[in-house]
Structure 1
Amino acid sequence: MRIFRVRALLAVLVVLTLASLLMGRLVYLQIVQHDMYSTRSENNRVRVEPLPPNRGLIYDRNGVLLAENRPTYNLTLVRERVDNLDETLALLVELLELPEEEIEAFNVRSRQRQRPFQPALLTSDLSEDQIARLAVNRHRLPGVEIEAQPLRFYPDAEIMAHALGYVGRINAEELEELDAGRYAGTHFIGKTGIERFYEEELHGQAGLRKVETNARGRVLRELDRTDPVPGENLTLTLDKSLQMLAYELLDDRRGSIVAIVPETGEILAMVSTPGFDSNQFVTGIDVASYRGLQEDLDLPLFNRAIRGHYPPGSTIKPFLALAGLVEGVITPDSTINDPGYYQLPNDSRRYRNWLRWGMVVSIWNALSPFPITLTITPWRMI
């Protein structure tokens, strides 16, 4: 009987000890660590998704659309919801035939996220066939989502390429300098031309939505929403019809045409040829195509209208004549004696025509502004 009592007492002590340990652990989890586990549970159940703004449209002076946004579908991935990232990426490469460059770019964007559970762009502008493949294999791709987003499109890409510029994917350097809140969910930014200069006005402000998800990360319902603010539309002084005429006149030859209203400084046309398809740069131009543009002897990426440096030639003659009239060096009735050579003041050397006689008139026409120029000091001409 005594042995039974001892055993019963030991059993009670063991039960009480285990119960105490269990209660202690329960208190620790439910009270001490309540805030931490509550936050983790909320993160698993509730997700905050950025809502990118619609980029502002660009019009010419007559309201003709020059840059628009077309609906497209992008593929994003949340690392925290993927069981095996390497296997998932390998499957996506197989399904969508993604190049290695896009996987490397995704890894960079994923590491640079501002917070956990934030989707990172994997690829953009999905085709209908790619979307169908993803739908069939949806059960094998937790954490992978298809999101609709407008994509920049230029209806007259080659004609407007140098004037408008283009947008492209945000790179690592740009990401570090941007306002994370304003650009949340945004994958594109103005790279050159008007698109870059007016980025502040064209971009807009990103919004947010809070959604409830299930254990597989699928959205069940929307809990809260802050709508994005679209970018401002931009109306240029350019005239599309005049721009097209200038492009046709150049006829694919190397050159540029700029039409300006003298009284206001408004630019009606600004063309540089040859041009290029700026739509290639929006989603990311492939290496071979970009190398082809760079190695093209006609330099299609070079904006001759604003970056080219050319000697003025005879175009300066009217300005020299006007300067001479203003400064009183010549009058409308002035004549220049042509002895068959030119001689600098206080110099005995005579500069004669070394070409055949048939060229004398042309050469003298080219030299005729020299006496006027030498009489007007440089600062007076300026």
Structure 2
Amino acid sequence: MGAWFEIKDHFQENRLFQERIIVALVLSAFLVLGVLARLIYLQVYAHEHFTMLSHGNRVDIRPLLPRRGLIYDRNGVLLAENIPSFSLEVVPERVGNLDSTLAALQELIPLRDEAMADFRRRLKKKGTFEKVPLALHLSEEAVARFAVNRHRFPGVSVEARLIRYYPQKELFAHVVGYVGRINEAELQRLDPVNYRGSRYLGKTGVEKAYEAILHGSVGFEQVEVNAQGRVIQILRRMPPVPGHDLYLSLDSRLQAVAIDALGEYNGAVVALDPKTGDVLAMVSRPGFDPNVFVTGLSDKSFAALRDSPDRPLYDRALRGLYPPGSTLKPFMALAGLEWGLARTDKVTYCPGWYKLPGHSRRYRCWRRRGHGSVDLAKAVAESCDVYFYDLAVALGIDRIYAYLGRFGFGRKVQIDIPGERAGLLPSRDWKRQVHQLPWFPGETVITGIGQGFIQATPLQLATIVAVLAEQGVKRAPGVVYASRAPGAEKITLRPTRAAELVSINKAKYWEQVEAAMVEAVHGERGTARRISKDLSFQIAGKTGTAQVFSVKENERYTEAEVPMKLRDHALFIAYAPVADPVIAVAVVVENGGHGGSVAAPIGRRLIDVYLDS
């Protein structure tokens, strides 16, 4: 059998080989061109971007917190300032073993369990590259102890920061308010740029209302750091802009006098300048030390404040609701004059009780033997209940509601700090909506003496009596009267508050009611006569007593037999001097008993101190 021979085509093989080489060279050329194009892009077009990324491994951008604006009273007394404080802070990504580091720190610097729990919570909300505070308000001893051992704790540092401090403590706690740590809900609505690195936010009072101008604007610095995170040099810096300083219309001396005058009683005192609406004093007792809220307080301590039967966290001046009692009578007298149902020469007989026509129930006067024949001036000065029972029935609840609403009863006074309540001015519609019941005639009777459903805050009473002082000019009260921008030498006054006019038919009605209120203080039988001793000027005032519980028709109220918490509230409203009023006051003393003996002397002390100054 013949053998097979393979015949090779060397020319064809050589040609195929050359083609493959050409294809490989073309592909290589394209790859080289692609690499060159990428190099050109990275080195030329994207140079700045990747330079920044590379610097990011050794450059850190840190926020610079602005100095929070200071708060002063009208005389330049400091009410809120910033003091230095040291805090222990951790950057998680720079810590090798977080748990062992925390355990070692615990041995070095004793940390409360609550502080550790707070740290764990904050750790979940922040990035691993951000500083998370572990302990605040470190003592000098703790700072020194850590400094000696700092080499053992990479990623942990002691930072010096400014924290808020309130030198007057409880004296201005409710009105100035306080700052506290920013919570998660607040974080969602805040500007993430301007609040980067910020830990505190105004929570109540002036601190909350004026947060935008007190906070300032955050700055930043670009720093070069080493592998341990220590700053080598500052590359770029944009300084923060401090917040504005605020000046309040409040007077520290009046505040202190009001607190002292209340003594052991709980209550509220508000004083205004009736010509401007500036709040001169606004006290709620008991108070609290706002400093404990700045760095945080334990759950146990907060529970003690929250659950205290005296309710120190409750702002009675702004939110406390009290029946106005007989302090309502001057306004009822004005309503009667307006509607022609009361005249200065019209007399009503007071036997010590009042009965609605066709009813047997007797509504008692506070003076059980009665006042006898009383006109409008005597009814206000001696606070005759029967006179105002009769006037209220003649007016009817619809006219009472309409008229008192013009002065501001049942409405917020629109003060420039948050939290105020509107009080309650009852009407037929209100009762039908809330209680699903009709309005009863007896409810009109007791409304005439400021009892029943009607309620007002001490701030409302002060604002409303200021309307009497200015004969119908009503201004919204305010506590901030000026501010000062960072670096400015002069202060900027806040805009003048708009005024409303409460018009009446005849101007003489103002004078007639004012004369009756002057008689209440300076008359022989006026309910506030005991404060008129040694007065060199005239005060127009009205006392009030507000029941805490109802007394049955044939029962007697004997104060000595009633528990303290169930005794009547004592009230007093006034303005002075009558010739040219510069101060209007409202005093509410919880369970104080009698407005003339307890609340009126407090009002007199405030007026004396303010006029003497």
- TM-score between the two structures when normalised by the length of structure 1: 0.84
Kept in 1: contact 2:94–2:155 (CA 8 A): yes
Kept in 1: contact 2:353–2:365 (CA 8 A): no
Tell whether 2:281 aligns with 1:269.
yes
Q: Partners of 2:290 and 2:53 in 1: how far apart? A: 45
**1:99 CA displacement:** 1.8
Tell whether 2:64 aligns with 1:51.
yes
Kept in 2: contact 1:211–1:221 (CA 8 A): yes
- Paired residue total: 351
Q: Which residue of 1 aligns with 2:386?
A: 367
**1:141 CA displacement:** 0.9
Residue-by-residue CA offset, 1:275-303 (whole Å, 9 max, x unaligned): 11110110001222112112221111111
Q: Which residue of 2 aligns with 1:191?
A: 203
Residue-by-residue CA offset, 1:346-377 (whole Å, 9 max, x unaligned): x3335447899x82227992222111112224
Kept in 1: contact 2:352–2:371 (CA 8 A): no
Tell whether 2:79 aligns with 1:69.
no
**1:264 CA displacement:** 2.2
Q: Partners of 1:126 and 1:158 in 2: how far apart? A: 24
Q: Partners of 1:179 and 1:300 in 2: how far apart? A: 33
Q: Which residue of 2 aligns with 1:86?
A: 99
Q: Which residue of 1 aligns with 2:602?
A: none
Pair 1:43–1:118, CA change in 2 (3 A): farther
Kept in 1: contact 2:271–2:279 (CA 8 A): yes
Q: Which residue of 1 aligns with 2:377?
A: none
Q: Which residue of 1 aligns with 2:481?
A: none
Q: Partners of 1:185 and 1:290 in 2: how far apart? A: 26
**1:337 CA displacement:** 2.7
Residue-by-residue CA offset, 1:279-329 (whole Å, 9 max, x unaligned): 011000122211211222111111111111111111111211122122221
Partner secondary structure for residue 275 of structure 1: coil
Q: Partners of 2:350 and 2:253 in 1: how far apart? A: 47
Tell whether 2:189 aligns with 1:170.
no
Kept in 2: contact 1:254–1:274 (CA 8 A): yes
Q: Partners of 1:378 and 1:275 in 2: how far apart? A: 38
**1:273 CA displacement:** 0.6
User: In the TM superposition, what are the counterparts of 1:1-382 in structure 2 within 5 Å?
Assistant: 41-113=54-126, 117-338=129-350, 342-344=354-356, 347-352=357-362, 359-361=368-370, 365-381=384-400, 382=403
Residue-by-residue CA offset, 1:262-283 (whole Å, 9 max, x unaligned): 2322111111111111101100
Pair 1:196–1:322, CA change in 2 (3 A): same
Residue-by-residue CA offset, 1:19-63 (whole Å, 9 max, x unaligned): xxxxxxxx9xx9799999966653331111111110000111122
Pair 1:55–1:67, CA change in 2 (3 A): same
* Percent of aligned pairs sharing the same letter: 46
Q: Partners of 2:114 and 2:313 in 1: how far apart? A: 23
Pair 1:331–1:92, CA change in 2 (3 A): same
Partner secondary structure for residue 157 of structure 2: strand
Q: Which residue of 2 aligns with 1:16?
A: none
Kept in 2: contact 1:93–1:99 (CA 8 A): no
Kept in 1: contact 2:88–2:138 (CA 8 A): yes
Pair 1:279–1:150, CA change in 2 (3 A): same
Pair 1:367–1:92, CA change in 2 (3 A): farther
**1:150 CA displacement:** 1.0
- TM-score between the two structures when normalised by the length of structure 2: 0.54
Partner secondary structure for residue 337 of structure 1: strand
Q: AA paired with 1:106?
A: F
Q: Higher relative contact order by CA 8 Å / sep ≥ 6: 1 or 2?
A: 1
Kept in 2: contact 1:341–1:351 (CA 8 A): no
Q: AA paired with 1:374?
A: V
Q: Partners of 1:243 and 1:197 in 2: how far apart? A: 21
Q: Which residue of 1 aligns with 2:587?
A: none
Pair 1:45–1:272, CA change in 2 (3 A): same
Partner secondary structure for residue 69 of structure 2: coil
Q: Which residue of 2 aligns with 1:15?
A: none
Kept in 2: contact 1:340–1:352 (CA 8 A): no
Q: Partners of 1:173 and 1:94 in 2: how far apart? A: 34
Partner secondary structure for residue 230 of structure 1: coil
Kept in 1: contact 2:155–2:229 (CA 8 A): yes
Q: Partners of 2:219 and 2:105 in 1: how far apart? A: 29
Q: Partners of 1:189 and 1:321 in 2: how far apart? A: 47
Most deviating of 324-333 and 197-206: 324-333
Kept in 1: contact 2:349–2:371 (CA 8 A): no
Kept in 1: contact 2:336–2:342 (CA 8 A): yes
Q: AA paired with 1:134?
A: F
Give 5+ residue unaligned stretches, structure 2. 1-34, 373-382, 404-613
Superposed CA RMSD in Å reads: 2.8
Q: Partners of 2:193 and 2:368 in 1: how far apart? A: 70
Residue-by-residue CA offset, 1:90-136 (whole Å, 9 max, x unaligned): 222222211232223223333333x6632222222111011011101
Partner secondary structure for residue 359 of structure 1: coil
Give 5+ residue unaligned stretches, structure 1. 1-26
Partner secondary structure for residue 370 of structure 2: helix
Pair 1:374–1:355, CA change in 2 (3 A): closer
Partner secondary structure for residue 212 of structure 1: strand
